[in-house]
Copies of this chain bind each other. A is one copy, B any other.
Amino acid sequence: MRKSTLEEVAAAAGVSKMTASRALRGTSDVSKETREKVLQAAERLNYVGNRLALSLSSQRTNLVAVVVPSMSNIVFPEVLAGISAGLEGSGMQAVFGISDYDAAKEREIIRDMLSWQPSAIIVTGLDQPEDTVRMLKNATIPIIQIMDLDGEPVDFNVGLSHGKAGEDMARALIAAGRRRFGYVGSALELDLRAGKRKAGFERVLGKSGLAFMQSQIDDAFSSVALGKQLTRAALAAMPDLDCLYYSNDDMATGGLFACMELGVAVPGKILIAGFNGLDLANALPVRIATSRSPRHLIGEVAAKLARDVVADGKTIDRKRIAFTPEIIGIGPFENSTG
């Protein structure tokens, strides 16, 4: 039982290849009876069109290439789900690639993606090396860089400023009365956005004459377990901190658990602040502070952007779509009931 081709369907229906093609696509210029014959023949032969031939012939793929750095944290899957949702009903298909936070791997994945002639490409971040950017530009398709706004976009840009997110969080925590800050993070040389948040946070601390009094940073990727471990180390080194800023909510959650195990009151003694606004963070038995990043929405908006740009080459003037994460979970200092 070989895969049947349009030619075979046409033969079975007693018409030409071209007529069969028209009938199956539902374009005009086909009589009702002929269409019916072709449809039945296709059904009978279990015909499944060959997208390769279609795309090669018609010069459009309806493919959107997407490159994300990781799958081991819920953040990027949520972005992908958003993209998938945003593409729904458009006839466009997302193709995902994972770069593992590796620039060389990212370049190869992008090259590979581009060879499929996608109609648009969505990549994470703004910090691709020059040769990758050149390759992207050369593809002459819409390039949508997501998540980050701190840098020079190649084309379209959907996301938020992580530098500003760090700054805002620092301001909010200082306003809430915190003064003795510590930092817990991981893989900062890979997760550039986490680094930008930290830098923003430190800028504001500096302006207030403050600084991180303690800092625990590991090379491994973020996880709840790692957050727990590093928090223990931070508190051992400097027990009288009153606030810990984390590279993200996973780490912060680990931090909270460490505090619970050590009997350290949260947020009474220590305020714990993360980033992302994961559902998990909201369900925790003790509230931690976090910035809600609209991950699903960013994916959805990027996908819609891709649709719009591809649909009718109508010039989109809003090249940059910025979101501002809402900060939640900070009460006044006295509010503590940890």
User: Does A223 reach chain B (CB closer than 8 Å)?
Assistant: yes
User: Does A72 reach chain B (CB closer than 8 Å)?
Assistant: yes
Q: Which residues of B contact A78 (CB under 8 A)?
A: 71-72
In A55-70, the 8 Å CB interface with B consists of 55-56, 61, 70
Size of A's binding interface in residues, CB under 8 A: 58
User: Does A46 reach chain B (CB closer than 8 Å)?
Assistant: yes
Name the contact of A56 in the complex, choosing from B49, B56, B72, B77 (C-beta under 8 A). B56
Bound together, the chains give a CA A54 to CA B284 distance in angstroms of: 52
User: Does A50 reach chain B (CB closer than 8 Å)?
Assistant: yes
Question: Would you give the 0/1 interface string for A112-127, flagging 1 where the beta carbon is closer than 8 Å to chain B?
Answer: 1011110000000000
A72 → B minimal CB distance (Å): 6
Do A114 and B81 touch across chains, with their CB atoms under 8 A apart?
Answer: no
Do B48 and A114 touch across chains, with their CB atoms under 8 A apart?
Answer: yes
User: Does A3 reach chain B (CB closer than 8 Å)?
Assistant: yes
User: Does A254 reach chain B (CB closer than 8 Å)?
Assistant: yes
Bound together, the chains give a CA A225 to CA B257 distance in angstroms of: 17
A134 → B minimal CB distance (Å): 7
Do B51 and A134 touch across chains, with their CB atoms under 8 A apart?
Answer: no
Bound together, the chains give a CA A206 to CA B55 distance in angstroms of: 57
Do A52 and B116 touch across chains, with their CB atoms under 8 A apart?
Answer: yes
Given contacts A72-B77, A81-B71, A84-B98, contact A282 B225 (CB under 8 A): yes
Bound together, the chains give a CA A168 to CA B84 distance in angstroms of: 37
Q: Which residues of B contact A96 (CB under 8 A)?
A: 80, 94-96
User: Does A93 reach chain B (CB closer than 8 Å)?
Assistant: yes
A330 → B minimal CB distance (Å): 20
Q: Which residue of B lies closest to A4 (CB)?
A: B138
Q: Which residues of B contact A70 (CB under 8 A)?
A: 81
In A15-57, the 8 Å CB interface with B consists of 46, 48-56
User: Does A335 reach chain B (CB closer than 8 Å)?
Assistant: no
Q: List 17 A-B contacts (CB under 8 A).
A: A2-B140, A3-B139, A46-B138, A48-B114, A52-B55, A52-B61, A54-B115, A70-B81, A76-B77, A80-B96, A80-B98, A223-B279, A223-B283, A224-B283, A228-B283, A257-B283, A280-B280
In A62-112, the 8 Å CB interface with B consists of 70-74, 76-78, 80-81, 84, 93-98, 111-112
User: Does A11 reach chain B (CB closer than 8 Å)?
Assistant: no
In A145-198, the 8 Å CB interface with B consists of none
User: Does A135 reach chain B (CB closer than 8 Å)?
Assistant: yes
Do B115 and A50 touch across chains, with their CB atoms under 8 A apart?
Answer: yes
Q: Which residues of B contact A111 (CB under 8 A)?
A: 48
